[in-house]
């Protein structure tokens, strides 16, 4: 069992805020970076991911710990041996506890995109109403709102994300007018890894009485997320990314007092409190008094058993430690790239620490980014290409199973490739 034993006092001093400033990064390749890992060096053994590659792509798909995989397999066997397909409700409570919200405010989805569709298509909007978004949306947030615009005539207003927290607030604020009804933005952009000031934006949304939805696909499991603190009405996420859960699982938080503002589009068993279908009466009594009205019928309980185990895994470490670790790794890479390659690459991730998370994105000043990604993969580094927003860039996602050694090796690969 993992224990909350990571970051001894010595390592807190060595790897704290001032860690990067105490190392001569130009010679970091000769430093024994493994000595700085401490107990984090053991984390890799909990993951069955290929040992021959450095996996830098949790922003797309996060590998599950062995214990999660084993519990999913055992539950699948149990379902097929006993016929008992129950078990998903424990995940609803586990997710609610993890995000410090009420169980009745959690809807179980298959991914973040499904949760966004529930909000985008169900929110009470009319023709001419405006929704504020960014130019750096994932397709999973862009298409549902574009579809609503196409079907119902709402208008989407877009701002380009900036390099600083203050400027992002100002750009969003400039779009608010009497027609604005909702804000739907990412917590962390999938493109450049920009962490938007979602709490401050939440205060702005409340001031103007706007619906507020946050796409948390790139934040939930990477950084601490508490929807109540962020003052949002809706928060969506995928369990298969930073939460390290089974693939095909996600969640949607709906603030309880907003339930009636979302029209159920797809419904089924468990969405209702009772229904009749006979020659004399055809009626739905009412919708269930929770976000459960939006997830319905049979789902794969084995996958949601896996969700609870992945949440246990992160909870046993502590999200504050998870966030510190993943962000320190990203910061280390940012500084290494800046020190060794700033004349060869353009760093697209903000320099401002408050606007960063666990994603670092860059593009080569010369050459094809696609070729670079292919060569990196062949060299043992799993990265993601970023064609979105016409960036033509490379994205690196760091999580708890990564190491300073891997990031240093990746930097050295780039130095040789981009010479």
Same CATH topology for 9-63+318-417 and 68-315: the answer is no
Q: Which stretch of 127-131, 184-188, 268-272 has the lowest confidence by average pLDDT?
A: 268-272
Q: Are 172 and 183 in contact (CB under 8 A)?
A: yes
Q: Please state the rounded mean pLDDT for residues 209-236.
A: 98
Rounded (to 5) percent helix, strand, coil in the chain: 45, 15, 40
Instruction: Tell me the pLDDT band of 42, cut-offs 50, 70 and 90.
Output: confident
Given a cut of 50, whether residue 81 has pLDDT beyond it is: yes
- Is residue 250 within 8 A of residue 109, CB to CB? The reply is yes
Q: Is the pLDDT of residue 380 over 80?
A: yes
What CATH code is assigned to 68-315?
Answer: 3.40.640.10
Judge whether residue 4 has pLDDT over 60: no
Structure tokens at 190: 């999938």
Architecture of domain 9-63+318-417: Alpha-Beta Complex (3.90)
Query: For position 34, what pLDDT does the model report?
Result: 58
The H or E element spanning position 333 is helix 319-341
Count of helix runs (H) and strand runs (E) in the chain: 12, 15
Sequence ranges of the domains in the chain: 9-63+318-417, 68-315
**Distance between CA atoms of residues 241 and 247, nearest Å:** 8
* Alpha-carbon span 354 to 166, nearest angstrom: 10
Tokens of 207: 């001031």
At 49, the pLDDT band (50, 70, 90 cuts) reads confident
**CA-CA distance, 365 to 38, in Å (whole number)?**
36
| C-beta neighbour count of 303 within 10 angstroms | 24
Q: What secondary structure letter does DSSP report for 366?
A: S
Q: What is the pLDDT of residue 44?
A: 86
In 3D, which of 293, 257, 304 has the Cα closest to residue 92? 304
What is the residue-averaged pLDDT of the chain?
A: 91
| SS3 state of residue 363 | strand
Dump pLDDT digits (tens) for 89-120.
999 999 999 999 999 999 999 999 999 999 99
What pTM does this model have? 0.91
């Amino acid at each position: 069992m993992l224990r909350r034993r990571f970051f001894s006092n010595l390592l807190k001093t060595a790897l704290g805020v001032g860690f990067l400033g105490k190392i001569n990064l130009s010679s970091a390749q000769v430093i024994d970076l493994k000595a700085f890992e401490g107990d984090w060096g053991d984390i890799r053994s909990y993951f069955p991911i290929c040992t021959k590659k450095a996996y830098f792509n949790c922003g797309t798909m996060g590998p599950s710990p062995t214990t999660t995989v084993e519990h999913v397999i055992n539950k699948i066997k149990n379902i097929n041996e006993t016929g008992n397909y129950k078990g998903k409700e424990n995940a609803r409570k586990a997710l609610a506890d993890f995000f410090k919200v009420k169980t009745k405010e959690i809807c179980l989805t298959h991914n973040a995109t499904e949760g966004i569709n529930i909000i985008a298509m169900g929110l009470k909007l009319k023709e001419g109403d405006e929704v504020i978004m960014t130019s750096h949306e994932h397709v999973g947030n862009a298409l549902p709102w574009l579809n609503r615009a196409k079907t119902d005539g709402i208008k989407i207003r877009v701002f380009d994300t900036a390099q600083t927290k203050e400027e992002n607030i100002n750009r969003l604020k400039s779009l608010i007018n009497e027609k604005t009804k909702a804000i739907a933005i990412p917590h962390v952009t999938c493109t450049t890894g920009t962490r938007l000031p979602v709490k401050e934006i939440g205060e702005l949304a409340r001031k103007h009485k706007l619906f507020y939805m946050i796409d948390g696909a790139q934040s939930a499991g990477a950084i601490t997320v508490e929807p109540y603190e962020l003052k949002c009405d809706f928060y969506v996420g995928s369990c298969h990314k930073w939460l390290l859960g089974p693939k095909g699982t996600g969640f949607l938080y709906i603030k309880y007092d907003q339930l009636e503002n979302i029209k159920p589009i797809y419904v089924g068993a468990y969405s209702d409190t009772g229904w009749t279908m006979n020659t004399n009466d055809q009626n739905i009594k009412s919708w269930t008094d929770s976000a459960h009205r939006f997830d319905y019928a049979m789902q794969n309980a084995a996958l949601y058993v896996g969700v609870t185990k992945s949440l246990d895994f992160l909870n046993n470490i502590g999200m504050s430690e998870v966030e510190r670790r993943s962000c320190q790794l990203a910061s280390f890479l940012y500084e290494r790239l800046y020190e060794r390659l700033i004349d060869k690459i353009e760093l697209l991730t903000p320099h401002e620490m408050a606007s960063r998370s666990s994603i670092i994105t860059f593009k080569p000043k010369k050459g094809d980014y696609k070729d670079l990604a292919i060569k990196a993969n062949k060299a043992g580094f799993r990265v993601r290409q970023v064609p979105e927003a016409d960036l033509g860039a490379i994205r690196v996602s760091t999580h708890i199973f990564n190491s300073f050694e891997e990031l240093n090796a990746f930097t050295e690969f780039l130095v040789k490739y981009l010479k």
